[in-house]
Amino acid sequence: MKIAIVGATGEVGRMMIRNLVEFEVPVSQLDLYASKRSAGSTLYYMDSAIQVMELTAAAWDKSYDYILFSAGSGIAKAQAPEATKACQLVIDNSSAFRKDEGIPLVVPEINGSLLKGYKGIVANPNCSTIQMVLPLAVLDKLFGLRKVVVSTYQSVSGSGHKGLATLQAQREGSDDLGDYPAVIDLNLIPQIGAWLDDGYCAEEEKMHSETCKILANEKIHVCATTVRVPVMYGHSISVYAEFEQKVVLALAEEKLSQAEAISFSANTFTTPLDLGSSNESHVSRLRHGGDDYSLAFWNVAHNIRLGAATNAVRIMLKHAGYEA
């Protein structure tokens, strides 16, 4: 496969390169793009040293099978439509196209069938949404999902390089807030993204609109409170969900244990530090939510892996007819 990664030097881009190795993707050509700042630097794919190139429109004179974008919404809007002329599929990690009608928003284990015969841009969902919607899709099939109330605990790597650098600097005594609206070290911040008119912030709105789009049900109510916490890697979510039908706890446990891309723990819990290099959505502490029509659970996943790079690489592999 001939593959290009845009934003290859970022947290997500570097993980995409690791995933190509880990999933033994048959790569015949790998071109790495970033901004002018990183052009000329070297990244490694297995034993091959690859020089990072500055992204310019000339990149799309070449021909690829797949182009993975992970460089933010601005670059995606400016470059992804042109890039579709150079490949079968552009997979974009930003929020630029997620709400566009006609652009599939894909978690392969849930709605990967949308990829069949599709060409153009595919949107990779928001990190917290991917990990949460995997177990919700299983439960939705069993009992009919109606309403979800969540609080998230999102790591600083969710803000890319800069988030990690800001936490590290504050830990060493800096009072630079970086891009955050408050101090993050030894603190937490209940705002991720810009404020909206309805009192929610952008990340919360994404969890609502993207959950409905992926589960193909606009009637699901999602009330999210998204919180940045001083954790380096791994997002955690406390989930409460209500259903149309009576919940059978044992059946929920059985189906979650068997589901693809989910690791279910009946008797213990997962913390962000436990994740290591896991590509799965970890579900634990499953219990009734106070009545027979609801469930509560604890959900943890690696935001750079499952929440970004791994889902994108799985989209590519599914489209190409491979399984990750």
Query: Which residues are known catalytic residues?
Result: 127, 235
Select from 62, 77, 141, 161 the one that contacts ligand NAP (CB under 6 A): 161
CB-based contacts of 304: which residues, under 8 Å, 6+ apart?
A: 11, 12, 15, 157, 233
| Residue type at position 61 | D
SS3 159: helix
Would you count residue 106 as binding ligand NAP (CB under 6 A)?
no
Would you count residue 127 as binding ligand NAP (CB under 6 A)?
yes
Cα(241)–Cα(294) distance, rounded to whole angstroms? 5
CB of 204 to ligand NAP, least distance (A): 15
Select from 16, 64, 70, 139 the one that contacts ligand NAP (CB under 6 A): 70
Would you count residue 72 as binding ligand NAP (CB under 6 A)?
yes
Would you count residue 148 as binding ligand NAP (CB under 6 A)?
no
Could you tell me which of 135, 160, 123, 170 has the C-alpha nearest to residue 282?
135
Query: 20: which 2 tokens?
Result: 């190509």
Would you count residue 295 as binding ligand NAP (CB under 6 A)?
no
Could you tell me which of 49, 62, 65 has the C-alpha nearest to residue 1?
65
CB of 21 to ligand NAP, least distance (A): 18
Nearer residue to ligand NAP within complex by CB, 69 or 297? 69
Would you count residue 231 as binding ligand NAP (CB under 6 A)?
no
Number of residue whose CB is nearest ligand NAP: 10
Number of Cβ within 10 Å of residue 146's Cβ equals 17
Would you count residue 67 as binding ligand NAP (CB under 6 A)?
no
- Only segment of 134-142, 269-277, 300-308, 316-324 that touches ligand NAP (CB under 6 A): 300-308
Cα(133)–Cα(126) distance, rounded to whole angstroms? 10
- Only segment of 32-40, 104-112, 135-143, 273-281 that touches ligand NAP (CB under 6 A): 32-40
Would you count residue 272 as binding ligand NAP (CB under 6 A)?
no
Q: Per residue, what are the HEC states of 199-253?
A: CCEHHHHHHHHHHHHHCCCCCCEEEEECCECCCCCCEEEEEEEEECCCCCHHHHH
Could you tell me which of 180, 195, 188, 103 has the C-alpha nearest to residue 154?
188
Binding site for ligand NAP (CB under 6 A): 6-13, 33-35, 37-38, 55, 70-72, 75, 93-94, 127, 157-158, 160-162, 303-304, 307-308
